[in-house]
Amino acid sequence: MITAGEGKKIAIVGAGLSGGVIGRELAEAGHHVEIFDRRPHIAGNCHTERDEQTGVMVHIYGPHIFHTDDAEVWNYVNRFQTFMPYKNRVKTTSNGQVYSLPINLHTINQFFGKSFRPDEARVFLETLADTSIEQPETFEEQALRFVGKDLYEAFFKGYTQKQWGCSPTELPASILKRLPVRFNYDDNYFFHHYQGMPENGYTDMIGHILDHPNITLHLETAFRRTQTDGFAHVFYSGPLDGYYDYQFGRLGYRTLDFERFTYDGDYQGCAVMNYGDESVPFTRITEHKHFSPWENHQGSVCYREFSRECGPQDTPYYPIRLVEEKELLSHYVALAEQEAHVTFVGRLGTYRYLDMDVTIREALDTARLYLFAEKADAAM
Ligand code: FAD
Ligand code: UDP
């Protein structure tokens, strides 16, 4: 371990989970860490803020639920915040009715007006499935193969068209594989063993992660490639194409617009209500107070969520990763691989959709690899 006086000067771009976790690990190892974020707040896209009018904790960049099977990551987040029990139970409105998601026995029975037991529902769904599709490659094939045309059209086709701005026939099957189909009444959106919500929000949690004497934070400070001099290493969690001034073109993202409204009471009775019909222009409504069921607020803050193509001035949310983007990405990755003193990390730095737990796992591994390599160099 390096003592504080011997520590190197490290730059970290982005004060989200990637930057925060790497910064903390290197600060604890004795390095002097400077963290830059162009936004006026920490926590990146996980940022939460209490609404002044209602007192509700709001997930400013969209709903974030913590779920993982990684015990080390779970222990890590619990070091910096008390996690309250929280299970995500999503509903969806389709053709004038409200159903439970992910598709489970209740959804199947309600949709088809049946009272199947698990084995019966499984056999029934198999009769609806398009079994001629042996290896589903597209989103649509995956849906037709496993749930059939009617459930696909009610819950996935319109929603996905709105979310991704293209036909499900153009999207990979992997996007739908995120959602299970259950033949019991379990309506938990996730499978993971550990699930919860930080008691005082994600920003408070990341604030504790950054609270270390070896960390200096610079908010509202954009970092550019020309500023790397003077730092032993740079960990960059901003957009990979942005670092190289978009010289080969821009990697495609979807962005989100949130239409905020308040309500006196309980607007929809759950945290997340999806809208499967294409005729409804938004994908879902989030009612934030239901993310903190241990709190009691009369007023309510809701977000209608609209997805659209990300322009140069917009916040990038979902990497698109179709064939064209993968080709463009390979050019940027080739440049990144030549960097000896810059490591690209996180959702934007690696252009991948990463859940929070995977982001933390990768950040811990990246910091440890760096410290290990440093030790190995020192021993030579
Ligand atoms: P970010 O949070 O994006 O942080 C990057 C930071 O870098 C930003 O603050 C940005 O301002 C800053 N930055 C960029 N460029 C520069 C620059 N040049 N100079 C200075 N600063 C810069 N995960 C879950 O596990 N559960 C969920 O329920 C969930 N819901 C989600 C919902 C939505 C709508 C989205 C988009 C994501 C969701 N995620 C969820 C994923 C989660 O948001 C990510 O795992 C996490 O935010 C990744 O953290 P990061 O630090 O890599 O990136
Ligand atoms: N999806 C859908 N209908 C829904 C919910 C999800 O069609 O009601 C599709 C949509 O294409 C989405 C994908 O399933 O991108 C994965 O869902 P998830 O809830 O994981 O989406 P995310 O967390 O990425 O918003």
C-alpha 243/C-alpha 187 separation (Å) is 42
- Out of 159, 255, 317, mutate this one to test ligand 2's pocket (max ligand atoms within 8 Å of CB): namely 159
**pLDDT at residue number 5:** 47
CB 22 within 8 A of CB 361: no
Q: What is the pTM of this model?
A: 0.96
Tell me the per-residue pLDDT of 192-220, one tens digit each, with 9 for 90 and over: 999 999 999 999 999 999 999 999 999 99
Whether ligand 1 lies within 6 angstroms of the CB of 36 is answered as: yes
CB 261 within 8 A of CB 53: no
Domains of the chain: 4-47+199-249+320-379 (3.40.50.720), 103-178 (no CATH)
C-alpha 7/C-alpha 377 separation (Å) is 15
**pLDDT at residue number 294:** 98
Residue 33 dihedral angles phi and psi, to the nearest 5°: -105, 125
Q: Which residues line ligand 2 (CB under 6 A)?
A: 92, 101, 155-156, 159-160, 163, 175-176, 178-179, 274, 276
**pLDDT at residue number 277:** 97
Question: Residue 365 C-alpha to ligand 2 middle, in angstroms?
Answer: 28
C-alpha 324/C-alpha 319 separation (Å) is 12
- Out of 244, 356, 357, 358, mutate this one to test ligand 1's pocket (max ligand atoms within 8 Å of CB): namely 356
- Output helix, strand, coil percentages for the chain, rounded to the nearest 5: 40, 20, 40
Question: Residue 110 C-alpha to ligand 2 middle, in angstroms?
Answer: 21
**pLDDT at residue number 3:** 44
Per the listing, tokens 């029990």 go with 85
C-alpha 276/C-alpha 278 separation (Å) is 6
Per-residue pLDDT of the chain (380 residues; tens, 9 = 90+): 444 447 999 999 999 999 999 999 999 999 999 999 999 999 999 999 999 999 999 999 999 999 999 999 999 999 999 999 999 999 999 999 999 999 999 999 999 999 999 999 999 999 999 999 999 999 999 999 999 999 999 999 999 999 999 999 999 999 999 899 999 999 999 999 999 999 999 999 999 999 999 999 999 999 999 999 999 999 999 999 999 999 999 999 999 999 999 999 999 999 999 999 999 999 999 999 999 999 999 999 999 999 999 999 999 999 998 878 889 999 999 999 999 999 999 999 999 999 999 999 999 999 999 999 998 988 88
C-alpha 100/C-alpha 81 separation (Å) is 31
**pLDDT at residue number 151:** 97
**pLDDT at residue number 69:** 98
C-alpha 248/C-alpha 238 separation (Å) is 17
Whether ligand 1 lies within 6 angstroms of the CB of 12 is answered as: no
Whether ligand 1 lies within 6 angstroms of the CB of 238 is answered as: yes
Tokens, residue 164: 């991704």
DSSP-derived pairing of the beta strands 194-198 and 97-101: unpaired
**pLDDT at residue number 324:** 81
Contacts of 106 (CB under 8 A, 6+ apart): 99, 100, 185, 187
Cα torsion angle, 135, 139, 143, 144, sign: negative
Per the listing, tokens 């960390």 go with 215
- Out of 161, 164, 175, mutate this one to test ligand 2's pocket (max ligand atoms within 8 Å of CB): namely 175
Nearest to 42 by CA among 186, 209, 155: 209
What ipTM, to 2 d.p.?
Answer: 0.98
C-alpha 7/C-alpha 26 separation (Å) is 9
DSSP-derived pairing of the beta strands 342-344 and 233-236: parallel
- Which residue CA neighbors atom 9 of ligand 2 most closely? 160
CA dihedral 349, 351, 353, 357 (to 10 degrees): -20
**pLDDT at residue number 2:** 45
Helix or strand run (H / E) with residue 151: helix 148-151
320-323 contacts: CB < 8 A, separation 24 or more? Answer: 320/164, 320/251, 320/252, 320/253, 320/254, 321/172, 321/351, 321/352, 321/353, 322/166, 322/170, 322/171, 322/252
Tokens, residue 231: 């730092």
